[in-house]
A = this chain, B = another copy of it.
């Protein structure tokens, strides 16, 4: 793998977007000793299913990122209001600029700028603004993408996919959601693997790729 990528930052509009978008790659990076940071912007307190505490998604993202092997100190959870991130885009950008100064990542994962969800779009755009001078990859969220450019592939092994599935299962409050479906996660990974002649992969749009 790319030994010159040392610090990797994952931007997730909502807890769980990062695990879905690049969970397999995160596990692989951590295996290789890289330092991975995870930032979630909303714990979607307005959308928590009945019977769960309001902050359930915060609890779950701690569990899920631990499963992927992310150091708990590398997890930042904001509490911006779900579905309304665009109304506070400048605040989000300012937080990202602070994070850039502190962490100085080599590679940043964001949602695709073509992602239809309003919060994903906001994080994608402000992420591009804050990190335009480093490597920037846009992850796939098929139910929100109409067009997708499968430009970058990260080859994965079966155990990376298994970890990704386990991490997504940590979101017990979301278990009715289809993404918890093992068959779907594997099917997507096989589809992407097929494009580069391997068994499994995750795919990304390349916004920037910087070789220093």
Contact = CB atoms under 8 A, between A and B. Distances in A.
A208 B146 contact: yes
Contact of A133 (B117, B192, B197): B197
A183 interface: yes
Nearest to A152: B209
Contact of A1 (B178, B187, B212): B212
Taken together, the copies of this chain in the complex come to 6
A77 interface: no
A54 B181 CA distance: 44
Contacts of A211: 1-2, 152-155
Contacts of A66: none
A151 B206 contact: yes
Interface stretch (A36-44, A81-89, A168-176): A81-89
Interface of A: 1-4, 83-84, 86-87, 89-90, 93, 116-118, 125, 128-129, 132-133, 142-155, 178, 181, 183-184, 186-192, 194-198, 206-212
